[in-house]
């Protein structure tokens, strides 16, 4: 690393970091060095495996389904471009979501007209509101394009676009709850429409309606899963970076960004017990706004919005129970769909209370092996929302050495999660031969997101007003990529990677990416 002159150094190998790296290598012939503190690349798109009784089980940490991967759609075109067309996507079953509530359940079909019809059949008195909702989802989602363009385009060009576009900012920046309260009466229907709030980690009362629109719109035609599992994403991107003379190095922790005269010139890194300095023409951070501005940029560098960032973060995270199964979940009638199980219609209450009482209030259950045609063994994941505070007493302990009380707590939680899942999917417990639990501390350790808040800065209406949610930074030659430069989720963070090219190369860079992906 020290002998090569790199054009760009990227901190973090999540989908945001890898997207920026591939685009710089492929379009601009740059030598890019990606530095990852974890021992595997990919960030939240990485996979891990365990062997039990000769069977190898693999799980995807942060990819359960991705929308808009139909050939020809823009997100798919960009994915094809950044993976040299090598990554295939498997479509989930037609009924790809099952929402379960105390007195009803609902299966979402991968077709918006059918989805709307089923909702009207179940809630006939709300027909008018349901129809309005489907129109607004698509219309308001368009606001995000104008918003993102504003981050990379000169202000005159942005005003010009704004002139031709309907201004939906009021609706986009209301909360999801405010919006739904204005068009729908039935509390059960409101709950059903926001069942997927976990996809953006912020419940209806706190989330910006724009984020709800983006997620709902992206899944209107169903969900997709990478063939070969989530790790196929990084596996197909890294060779492109290497072909350009660059490299992706794991186990390298960036401790500091070296800044001289308000210009980023390099990074100070540690590898095992050694530390060294590496230099490049520009630095791009996929480590999120919190880490970049509060931990990596030295405090002496004037950043006017440090306090704002500190106050914007929250401790939302998850407990995930990874299951190794002795047989296919199809034995239980599962076809590969996601199961969202709720004990209440009040998602805001669930959010506030999750992890506080020790009771499991809701869970998302996913069956990765049924979505990946190349999977050799069967697995499942039970994800339940959790507050970091329930784990903060162990925050200063080290991974794998957190103590017996932590292990005991995890054991109890694992049993509760499995019992909870078995109540709604009878037989899943009997099928389980291996379990392992990750907590917000695991998430924090492996991804470095503050308090395990892996979605980055929460998607409240305030997020969209912060100037620092942007690929541009006040430091010359320093840029952001990933979730906090674009949006959350795999596609959102990938677009963060695209927007960083717009910030580095100007509007022509952005247009070039679109042109290359469009070919």
Contact 456, 48 (CB under 8 A): no
Site string for ligand FAD, 263-292 (x = CB under 6 A): -----------------------xx---x-
| Distance of closest approach, residue 18 Cβ to ligand FAD, in angstroms | 8
Pairing of strands 104-109, 95-101: antiparallel
- When asked if residue 318 is in the footprint of ligand FAD (CB under 6 A), the reply is yes
| Max Cα-Cα span within the chain | 70
What DSSP string describes 369-433? HHH-TT-SSEEEEEEEEEEGGGGGGGTTSBTTBS-HHHHHHHHHHHHHHHHHHHHHSTTHHHHEE
- When asked if residue 217 is in the footprint of ligand FAD (CB under 6 A), the reply is no
User: What is the spatial distance between Cα 451 and Cα 484, in angstroms, rounded to a whole number?
Assistant: 16
Out of 238, 459, 488, 498, which residue is the one contacting ligand FAD (CB under 6 A)? Answer: 488
Contact 363, 342 (CB under 8 A): no
What DSSP string describes 470-512? SSB-SSBTEEE-STTTS-SHHHHHHHHHHHHHHHHH-HHHHHH
Out of 24, 32, 59, 64, which residue is the one contacting ligand FAD (CB under 6 A)? Answer: 64
Q: How many CB atoms lie within 10 A of CB 53?
A: 8
Out of 153, 254, 265, 323, which residue is the one contacting ligand FAD (CB under 6 A)? Answer: 254
| Distance of closest approach, residue 188 Cβ to ligand FAD, in angstroms | 25
- When asked if residue 129 is in the footprint of ligand FAD (CB under 6 A), the reply is no
Query: What residues form DSSP beta bridges with 318?
Result: 385
- When asked if residue 337 is in the footprint of ligand FAD (CB under 6 A), the reply is no
- When asked if residue 34 is in the footprint of ligand FAD (CB under 6 A), the reply is no
Query: What residues form DSSP beta bridges with 385?
Result: 318
What is the torsional sign of CA 104, 109, 112, 113? negative
User: What is the spatial distance between Cα 392 and Cα 451, in angstroms, rounded to a whole number?
Assistant: 9
- Residue 67 or 129: which CB sits closer to ligand FAD? 67
- When asked if residue 11 is in the footprint of ligand FAD (CB under 6 A), the reply is yes
- When asked if residue 489 is in the footprint of ligand FAD (CB under 6 A), the reply is yes
User: What is the spatial distance between Cα 403 and Cα 397, in angstroms, rounded to a whole number?
Assistant: 8
Q: Which of residues 368-407 bind ligand FAD (CB under 6 A)?
A: 383
Structure tokens at 108: 């979402």
| Distance of closest approach, residue 127 Cβ to ligand FAD, in angstroms | 31
Out of 6, 25, 38, 190, which residue is the one contacting ligand FAD (CB under 6 A)? Answer: 38
Contact 18, 290 (CB under 8 A): no
| Distance of closest approach, residue 36 Cβ to ligand FAD, in angstroms | 5
- Residue 65 or 99: which CB sits closer to ligand FAD? 65
- When asked if residue 14 is in the footprint of ligand FAD (CB under 6 A), the reply is yes
- Residue 21 or 61: which CB sits closer to ligand FAD? 61
How many secondary structure helices (H) and strands (E) does the chain include?
A: 19, 18
Out of 482, 501, 503, 510, which residue is the one contacting ligand FAD (CB under 6 A)? Answer: 482
Structure tokens at 518: 């469009």
- When asked if residue 319 is in the footprint of ligand FAD (CB under 6 A), the reply is no
Stretch that binds ligand FAD, among 29-37, 109-117, 163-171, 177-185 (CB under 6 A): 29-37
- When CB distances to ligand FAD are compared, the closest residue is 14
Out of 6, 8, 9, 16, which residue is the one contacting ligand FAD (CB under 6 A)? Answer: 16
- Residue 174 or 318: which CB sits closer to ligand FAD? 318
- Residue 146 or 487: which CB sits closer to ligand FAD? 487
Query: Which residue's entry shows tokens 């209406």?
Result: 461
Contact 140, 213 (CB under 8 A): yes
- Residue 119 or 254: which CB sits closer to ligand FAD? 254
User: What is the spatial distance between Cα 417 and Cα 231, in angstroms, rounded to a whole number?
Assistant: 26
- When asked if residue 13 is in the footprint of ligand FAD (CB under 6 A), the reply is yes
Out of 20, 25, 30, 45, which residue is the one contacting ligand FAD (CB under 6 A)? Answer: 45
- When asked if residue 241 is in the footprint of ligand FAD (CB under 6 A), the reply is no
Q: Return residues touching ligand FAD (CB under 6 A).
A: 11-17, 35-38, 43-45, 61-66, 253-254, 286-287, 291, 318, 320, 383, 447-448, 454-455, 482-483, 488-491, 493
């Amino acid at each position: 690393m020290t002998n090569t002159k790199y054009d760009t150094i990227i901190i973090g190998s999540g989908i945001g970091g890898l997207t920026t790296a591939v685009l710089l290598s492929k379009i601009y012939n740059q030598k890019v060095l990606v530095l990852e503190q974890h021992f595997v690349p990919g960030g939240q798109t990485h996979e891990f495996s365990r062997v039990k009784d000769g069977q190898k089980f693999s799980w995807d940490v942060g990819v359960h389904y991705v929308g808009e991967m139909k050939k020809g759609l823009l997100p798919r075109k960009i994915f094809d471009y950044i993976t040299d067309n090598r990554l295939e996507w498997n479509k989930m079953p037609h009924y790809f979501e099952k929402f379960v509530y105390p007195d009803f359940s609902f299966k979402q079909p991968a077709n918006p007209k059918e989805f709307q019809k089923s909702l009207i059949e179940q809630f006939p008195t709300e027909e008018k509101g349901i129809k309005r909702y489907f129109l607004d989802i698509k219309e308001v989602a368009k606001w995000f394009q104008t918003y993102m363009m504003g981050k990379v385009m000169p202000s005159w060009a942005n005003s010009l676009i704004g002139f031709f576009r309907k201004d939906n900012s009021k609706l986009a920046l209301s909360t999801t709850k405010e919006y739904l309260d204005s068009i729908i009466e039935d509390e059960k229907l409101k709950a059903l429409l926001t069942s997927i709030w976990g996809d953006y980690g912020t419940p209806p009362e706190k989330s910006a309606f724009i984020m709800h629109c983006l997620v709902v719109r992206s899944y209107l035609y169903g969900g997709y899963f990478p063939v070969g599992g989530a790790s196929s994403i990084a596996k197909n991107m890294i060779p492109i970076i290497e072909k350009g003379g660059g490299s992706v190095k794991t186990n390298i922790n960036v401790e500091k960004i070296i800044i001289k005269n308000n210009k980023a010139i390099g990074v100070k890194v540690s590898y095992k017990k050694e530390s060294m300095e590496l230099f490049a023409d520009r630095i791009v951070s996929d480590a999120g706004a919190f880490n970049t501005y509060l931990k990596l940029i030295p405090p002496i560098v004037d950043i006017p919005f440090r306090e704002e960032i500190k106050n914007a973060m929250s401790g939302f995270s998850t407990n995930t129970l990874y299951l190794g199964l002795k047989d296919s979940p199809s034995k239980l009638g599962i076809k590969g769909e996601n199961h969202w199980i709720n004990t209440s219609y009040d998602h805001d209450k669930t959010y506030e209370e999750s992890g506080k009482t020790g009771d499991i209030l809701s869970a998302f259950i996913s069956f990765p092996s049924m979505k990946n045609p190349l999977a050799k063994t069967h697995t499942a994941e039970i994800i339940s929302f959790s507050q970091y505070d329930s784990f903060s007493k162990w925050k200063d302990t080290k991974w794998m050495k957190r103590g017996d009380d932590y292990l005991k707590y995890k054991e109890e939680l694992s049993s509760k999660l499995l019992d909870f899942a078995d109540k709604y999917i009878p037989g899943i417990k009997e099928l389980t031969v291996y379990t392992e639990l990750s907590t917000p501390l695991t998430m924090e350790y492996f991804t470095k997101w503050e308090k395990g808040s892996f979605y980055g800065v929460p998607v409240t209406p305030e997020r969209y007003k912060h100037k620092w949610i942007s690929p541009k930074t006040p430091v010359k030659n320093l840029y952001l990529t990933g979730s906090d430069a674009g949006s959350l989720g795999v596609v959102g963070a990938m677009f963060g990677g695209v927007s960083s090219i717009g910030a580095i190369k100007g509007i022509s860079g952005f247009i070039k990416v679109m042109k290359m992906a469009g070919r």
